[in-house]
Chains A and B, each alone.
Chain A
Amino acid sequence: MVQLVGSLRKELADSVSSCRVLVVGAGGIGCELLKNLVLTGFKNIEVIDLDTIDVSNLNRQFLFQKKHVGKSKAQVAKESVLQFCPEANITAYHDSIMNPDYNVEFFKNFMLVMNALDNRAARNHVNRMCLAANIPLIESGTAGYLGQVTVIKKGLTECYECQPKPTQKTFPGCTIRNTPSEPIHCIVWAKYLYNQLFGEEDADQEVSPDTADPEASWDPAQTAARAGASNQDGDIKRVSTKDWARSTGYDPVKIFNKLFKDDIMYLLTMDKLWKKRKAPQPLDWAVVQEMADAFLQSDEVSGQGLRDQQVLGVKGYAQLFCNSVETLRSQLAEKGEGAQLVWDKDDPPAMDFVTAAANLRMHVFSMNMKSRFDVKSMAGNIIPAIATTNAVIAGLIVLEALKILSGDLEQCRTVFLNKQPNPRKKLLVPCALDPPNTNCYVCASKPEVTVKLNVHKTLVQSLQDKILKEKFGMVAPDVQIEDGKGTILISSEEGETDANNSKCLSEFGIRNGSRLQVDDFLQDYTLLVNLLHCEDLEKDVEFEVVGDAPDKAPPAPNVPEEDKNIANGNQDSALPSTSSKVPIEKDDVLIVDSDEEPSSSTMEAAVEMGGVKRKLEDVETGGAGSKRKRLFELPINDDDIIALD
């Protein structure tokens, strides 16, 4: 049988068939990639994915069919590929790549790792594992018609974390709880509410009015009076939302009235908030029932559209709220005592609940309501995805893989796929890879960062969860204070330092200028953290990384000498006379939508839908827009699971 081997040199064909490669992710890009790998002649392939197959995958993940819904992606992908290519040797893992079983030794088994991921946490982790194991990594991502492929090799190129990424969009707690001004605030609130009622309760996801809102600052006497008043309020304050809801038997009407009437009336008593804002208007279930649903909006001038694109009226959403609460109540009951539901945008009652609750809150706060279709985009961070883009990107991944296997790392490129040919008539734009950022807090020889925080307020627990795990992407950090004694602050051994968790840093002698040595043994990664004590961080900001300016464009990447004259000079100048030289274009790289930020990509998609698009201001659209800058940011390709918060 003749495979692509025909067009490859013999030595390359041999290394293709003998090497072992790892594919991380068996989703949109992963399916295409597996197909391409076996057709190219790769024989030893391992694939890992923790996800199961959903109906919404079937429009592009061609290794899966309807009958596979609910099954392991990795496993089914393997079986489908074997049907066509029985001679391939594929190992499938239905697991998270962040599981400690997949340690540096595991990564060292491979000649090459290829990411086909959809979230930043896993990308960060695989990046570190490949740096630690010194294995080349091919990164990739797609969003709608756009896509990108790049190569990461320790010491030679930028790593995935060399350039700061835009931070996740977060909203201050009091905006969510007290003064929402945009639909997204109400949608975030509704997702919190879902967890508070049916899922895992999280103290950071409060939904009731926030009396500590600095903007509302009352004089102390008033505050005391109010505290008394809220106690009379049927003890709602001291019981958790879930316990309260349970005590009512999840009575939808009672929940409705608490959320949209009583809590709003309470907010109205914080009158300072409404001096300049339009005050919210409480909704009473009984009154809503009397309403003739006067304004029923439709998304399209021409009417119709998808059922999901219709905007219901207040009464319609009240009914949807009621129905979804009842459905979720029985789902919860079926799961038994102490069970929790997990929010999923593709679970209809969960999506109905968020749509209804968010819209009712939008109405209360005088915002224009949104269709289920639009709410789903925003609540689920949905990035549109099609087979074609994934197929193109998977093809490019294999080509980079072939260059790596031939030992031609200097020929590797970052390649961008544009929506339409750029002014130079190129649809695919290759760019030279940048050398590592010497200040990178991941791949520098002695990584170091400086963090501003309040040592009297920051708990060891939040140092671990919010700073080390969430911000710096560690899985199981060990922390030692550089105080000459080597005090262990956090141990990755279970239970060893639990007693420290609820203490604040200053209790361990940590003060301005203290240094922490943080190790993650799984990632074989050591980070030195310099702490700066700071008392005047903004409310809801627990810490700040010094020099981290995610909203600014990263510094202009260096252009290797060889490429400089081409980039700066005229494109038509004679190139070296081998056909393999690439005209490098530095200046017209597109913006790829950022990972976890729902606004840009989903908004762009929605704009393309041509409906009554309530576009956020200043949304940067991807593609050949007027603003062009480089963001070393790979888009989510698939069903992301990242929460908005």
Chain B
Amino acid sequence: MAQSAAGKSNKEQKYDRQLRLWGDHGQEALENAHVCLINATATGTEILKNLVLPGIGAFTIVDGHKVTGEDVGNNFFLSISSIGKNRAQAATELLQELNSDVSGNFVEESPDKLLDNDPEFFHRFSLVIGVQLIESTCLRLAGVLWNAGVPFLVCKTYGLVGYMRLAVKEHTVVESHPDNALEDLRLDQPFAELKNHIQSYDLDNMDKKDHSHTPWIIVVAKYLEKWYNEHNYQLPKNYKEKEAFRQLIREGILKNENGVAEDEENFEEAIKNVNTALNPTKIPSTVQDILNAEGWKNITAQTPAFWVMARAVKEFVENEGEGKLPVRGTIPDMIADSEKFINLQNVYREKAMQDASVVSKHVESLLQSVGKVCVYKSKKKCKNAAFLRVVRCRSLADECSVELVNKDEITSCMDNPDSEMVLYLMLRSVDRFFQQHSRYPGVYNYQVEEDIGKLKLCVNSLLQEYGLNVNVKDDYIHEFCRYGANAIKMITHQFVPFNNTFIYNAMSQTSATFQL
């Protein structure tokens, strides 16, 4: 027991700087994740390094290649002594050294073999990262993972160009960490307990100290009552009304014996916060979409936790919540003495817990109806009900299909001949080259000239096949012949990942995201 406490504290120390970024629950999600890397290339091991260091639960490298001199030259995690060894094994050993908390595994086989013999092998992972896969393997694997609901991150680097594509049918985000989230204060429609708490204050009969230490939330609530009475129960809506409301609060500041306004910072705070405080309580449209989503309407034993939760929240909104989401339960810092602040905080907090337990009850009964026991920790999700997001990507199969290709995006981007889109087309052409010649263009110096012509054919046949009426400049073809971090977002279910293609051009240090 003592030892596990010490172990926990060691981890806290080691991971301190990142816990401040994604929290202990983010860390927990990371530690429960099992990531599969296909091909331990320089890019592949670099990605794994950045997952192993922060303490991912486990990784498995799938790679049928043997380590070559070239690998040792460009891959920091392979050394000369690894030449000739299986690449999965050599990289696993060296990556494992980075963090003893991580379990490293390897499979000395090509992904194609695994797909032939045991496609279900890939179902166990939280995320599969495929690096430098040839197009046919990539599409096969993508099909398997798509159907299994396992996120698939496709990575390619070619010379100074990087490509990343996320393929996942549906990725749910519990904490999207929006940049400017509004507080959930319910001042426009206070719940009963909050109403009672507001009633317990009497601003007109208070001594000076208490008056200037009353939390601004209470101040706004008090003057809102007044405002409601004078304005037919309508919130101040436009600038003019809000300004009038601010003036109302300003008039409430105590005056000294000479009639000069006292310095009451809490009132100043109230005035400053009028705008955010009066934001009407409503369900964000993104969340409304999730609650109304068709896909998981019928809860079965297989329904993912997120959707059971979403359904439970929906039940809550339609019943106990009277059209509102569960209360978030946090309030911002403000000028107030401890006692008053904590009392107010507790009002929100207790209501949030109450709402959460109601949602939990809904979860329980939904699960009972399909014969499952409730094991979900739902409180976190309740608190974040306003920040739920769902990302849906297009499948790789759709992207590559002649009928479903996103022609519009490609052609409109190609109106600017230097859009990163051209790099996408080039990478697809290089894949095609590889498929035909079993090697990349320009790898042998004596073939460069010849390869330029061959690659150009590949570019043209690609454009023709997809009916793309765009122009790829020869510069790019020459450049490509001369050449011989996003996973964490997926695992922690925090932040919204890119959807769906990211291209990095190191020649000009530009990057772009596309929906393909």
Residues of A bordering B, CB below 8 Å:
1-4, 6-7, 35, 38-39, 55-56, 58-60, 62, 65-66, 83-86, 144-145, 276, 278, 295, 297, 301-302, 305-309, 346, 363, 366-369, 376-377, 382-389, 391-392, 395-396, 399, 413, 415, 420-421, 425-428, 430, 572, 574-575, 577-583, 602, 605-606, 608-617, 621, 623-626
Q: 7 tightest A-B contacts by CB?
A: A614-B333, A1-B73, A302-B379, A388-B485, A384-B20, A384-B21, A366-B337
**Which of A305, A428, A616 has the most chain B CB within a 10 Å cutoff?**
A428
A581 touches B418 (CB 8 A): yes
Partner of B74, one of A4, A60, A583: A4
Which residue on B lies nearest to A602, using beta carbons? B20
Contact string against A for B residues 378-420, beta-carbon threshold 8 Å, 1 for contact and 0 otherwise? 0110011000000000000000000000000000000111100
A144 touches B12 (CB 8 A): no
Complex alpha-carbon distance, A144 and B495, angstroms: 13
> For B332, what are the chain A residues with a Cβ–Cβ distance below 8 Å?
613-615
Partner of A582, one of B70, B484, B509: B509
> For B55, what are the chain A residues with a Cβ–Cβ distance below 8 Å?
59
Interchain nearest-CB distance for A65 vs B (Å): 7
> For B7, what are the chain A residues with a Cβ–Cβ distance below 8 Å?
none
Interchain nearest-CB distance for A210 vs B (Å): 21
> For B479, what are the chain A residues with a Cβ–Cβ distance below 8 Å?
579
> For B303, what are the chain A residues with a Cβ–Cβ distance below 8 Å?
none
> For B18, what are the chain A residues with a Cβ–Cβ distance below 8 Å?
59-60, 384-386
B507 touches A580 (CB 8 A): yes
A621 touches B179 (CB 8 A): yes
Complex alpha-carbon distance, A593 and B508, angstroms: 26
Partner of B8, one of A7, A307, A625: A307
Interchain nearest-CB distance for B18 vs A (Å): 5
Q: Does B510 make an interface contact (CB < 8 A)?
A: yes
> For A145, what are the chain B residues with a Cβ–Cβ distance below 8 Å?
21
Contact string against A for B residues 321-336, beta-carbon threshold 8 Å, 1 for contact and 0 otherwise? 0000000011011000
B495 touches A367 (CB 8 A): no
A2 touches B484 (CB 8 A): yes
Partner of B179, one of A58, A385, A421, A625: A625
A346 touches B13 (CB 8 A): yes
Known: A1-B73, A302-B383. A613 touches B333 (CB 8 A): yes
Complex alpha-carbon distance, A173 and B44, angstroms: 54
A302 touches B380 (CB 8 A): yes
Question: How many pairs, one residue from A and one from B, have CB atoms within 8 Å of each other in the complex?
Answer: 232
Q: Does B482 make an interface contact (CB < 8 A)?
A: yes
Interchain nearest-CB distance for A26 vs B (Å): 16
A382 touches B17 (CB 8 A): yes
Interchain nearest-CB distance for A34 vs B (Å): 10
Supply 10 further A-B pairs (C-beta < 8 A) apart from A7-B483, A56-B14: A7-B484, A39-B74, A385-B18, A386-B18, A387-B49, A428-B504, A577-B417, A580-B507, A612-B330, A623-B179
Interchain nearest-CB distance for A90 vs B (Å): 14
Complex alpha-carbon distance, A2 and B416, angstroms: 35
Complex alpha-carbon distance, A66 and B377, angstroms: 34
B333 touches A59 (CB 8 A): no
Partner of B16, one of A66, A363, A382: A382
Which residue on B lies nearest to A390, using beta carbons? B50
Which residue on A lies nearest to B209, using beta carbons? A278
Complex alpha-carbon distance, A582 and B506, angstroms: 11
B510 touches A428 (CB 8 A): yes
B12 touches A306 (CB 8 A): yes
A7 touches B42 (CB 8 A): no
- Which of B104-112, B198-206, B338-346, B429-437 has 4 or more CB atoms under 8 Å from chain A? B338-346
Complex alpha-carbon distance, A305 and B23, angstroms: 9
Q: Does B88 make an interface contact (CB < 8 A)?
A: no
Which residue on B lies nearest to A276, using beta carbons? B263
> For A413, what are the chain B residues with a Cβ–Cβ distance below 8 Å?
509
**Which of B21, B55, B332, B380 has the most chain A CB within a 10 Å cutoff?**
B21
Known: A83-B79, A391-B485, A579-B418. A425 touches B179 (CB 8 A): no
Could you tell me how many residues of chain B have their Cβ less than 8 Å away from some Cβ of chain A?
A: 96
Which residue on A lies nearest to B78, using beta carbons? A84
B23 touches A610 (CB 8 A): yes
A59 touches B416 (CB 8 A): no
Interchain nearest-CB distance for A543 vs B (Å): 29
Q: Does B511 make an interface contact (CB < 8 A)?
A: yes
Interchain nearest-CB distance for A617 vs B (Å): 8
Q: Does B313 make an interface contact (CB < 8 A)?
A: no
> For A427, what are the chain B residues with a Cβ–Cβ distance below 8 Å?
498, 502, 511, 513
B15 touches A59 (CB 8 A): yes
Which residue on B lies nearest to A412, using beta carbons? B509
Known: A65-B97, A368-B338, A577-B473. A426 touches B512 (CB 8 A): yes
Known: A579-B507, A582-B510. A610 touches B17 (CB 8 A): no
Known: A301-B349, A427-B502. A84 touches B418 (CB 8 A): no
> For B352, what are the chain A residues with a Cβ–Cβ distance below 8 Å?
301
Q: Does B304 make an interface contact (CB < 8 A)?
A: no
A1 touches B508 (CB 8 A): no
**Which of A302, A363, A415, A626 has the most chain B CB within a 10 Å cutoff?**
A302
B24 touches A309 (CB 8 A): yes
Q: Does B233 make an interface contact (CB < 8 A)?
A: no
Partner of B483, one of A6, A574, A611, A613: A6
Interchain nearest-CB distance for A584 vs B (Å): 10
**Which of A56, A396, A613, A626 has the most chain B CB within a 10 Å cutoff?**
A56
Complex alpha-carbon distance, A366 and B269, angstroms: 18
> For B10, what are the chain A residues with a Cβ–Cβ distance below 8 Å?
55
B21 touches A624 (CB 8 A): no
Complex alpha-carbon distance, A4 and B160, angstroms: 9
B509 touches A399 (CB 8 A): yes
Complex alpha-carbon distance, A331 and B132, angstroms: 55
A605 touches B76 (CB 8 A): no
Q: Does B228 make an interface contact (CB < 8 A)?
A: no
> For A367, what are the chain B residues with a Cβ–Cβ distance below 8 Å?
338
Complex alpha-carbon distance, A415 and B12, angstroms: 32
Q: Does B54 make an interface contact (CB < 8 A)?
A: yes
A35 touches B76 (CB 8 A): yes
Q: Does B280 make an interface contact (CB < 8 A)?
A: no
> For B159, what are the chain A residues with a Cβ–Cβ distance below 8 Å?
7
> For A624, what are the chain B residues with a Cβ–Cβ distance below 8 Å?
179
Chain A to chain B contacts (Cβ below 8 Å), 14 pairs: A7-B159, A60-B54, A276-B212, A278-B337, A307-B8, A369-B338, A382-B17, A382-B20, A387-B49, A427-B502, A580-B507, A610-B330, A617-B272, A621-B179
B510 touches A583 (CB 8 A): yes
Complex alpha-carbon distance, A85 and B46, angstroms: 16
> For B342, what are the chain A residues with a Cβ–Cβ distance below 8 Å?
295, 297, 368
A59 touches B513 (CB 8 A): no
Complex alpha-carbon distance, A101 and B447, angstroms: 53
Interchain nearest-CB distance for B450 vs A (Å): 19
B73 touches A575 (CB 8 A): no
> For B115, what are the chain A residues with a Cβ–Cβ distance below 8 Å?
none
Q: Does B470 make an interface contact (CB < 8 A)?
A: no
A2 touches B70 (CB 8 A): yes
Contact string against A for B residues 252-271, beta-carbon threshold 8 Å, 1 for contact and 0 otherwise? 00000000001100000100
Partner of B512, one of A425, A574, A617: A425
Contact string against A for B residues 14-49, beta-carbon threshold 8 Å, 1 for contact and 0 otherwise? 111111111110000000000000000010001001
Complex alpha-carbon distance, A66 and B53, angstroms: 12
Which residue on A lies nearest to B10, using beta carbons? A55
Complex alpha-carbon distance, A301 and B377, angstroms: 12
> For A420, what are the chain B residues with a Cβ–Cβ distance below 8 Å?
495-496, 498
B72 touches A384 (CB 8 A): no
> For A83, what are the chain B residues with a Cβ–Cβ distance below 8 Å?
79
B502 touches A1 (CB 8 A): no
Known: A7-B484, A59-B14. A608 touches B22 (CB 8 A): yes
> For A602, what are the chain B residues with a Cβ–Cβ distance below 8 Å?
20
A301 touches B508 (CB 8 A): no
Interchain nearest-CB distance for B254 vs A (Å): 11
A580 touches B160 (CB 8 A): no
Known: A297-B342, A428-B509. A608 touches B23 (CB 8 A): yes
